[in-house]
Amino acid sequence: MSPMLIGVVAIGAAGFAVGLAAIGPGIGQGFVAGKAVEAIGRQPEAQPQIMMTMLLGQAVAETTGIYGLVIALLLIGIAQGFI
């Protein structure tokens, strides 16, 4: 296989990995933020606790996207080893 083809496949796979890994956190973070706004609307006095829990939930959801980025970087690094 040619080095050019390996590089193009690695870049494509890396882009696919990041794109696919970004779908889940995007949906999860939107859902969490919406439910937090609903909860604050119902109980405004609990706003600090709700915001803290929401931010923690969003941070946990974002780690999935970061894992996708790590996989993409590994794919590119592995492809460079074959060239």
Asked if residue 19 lies in contact with residue 11, where contact means CB atoms within 8 angstroms, the answer is no
Amino acid at 58: Q
Condensed to tens digits (0 to 9), the pLDDT of residues 32-67 reads: 999 999 999 999 999 999 999 999 989 888 888 888
In sequence order, what are the residues at sequence separation of 6 or more whose Cβ sits closer than 8 angstroms to the Cβ of residue 28? 57, 61, 64
Written as six digits, the tokens of 23 are 């779908």
Q: List domains and CATH numbers for the chain.
A: 13-82 (1.20.20.10)
pTM given for the model: 0.68
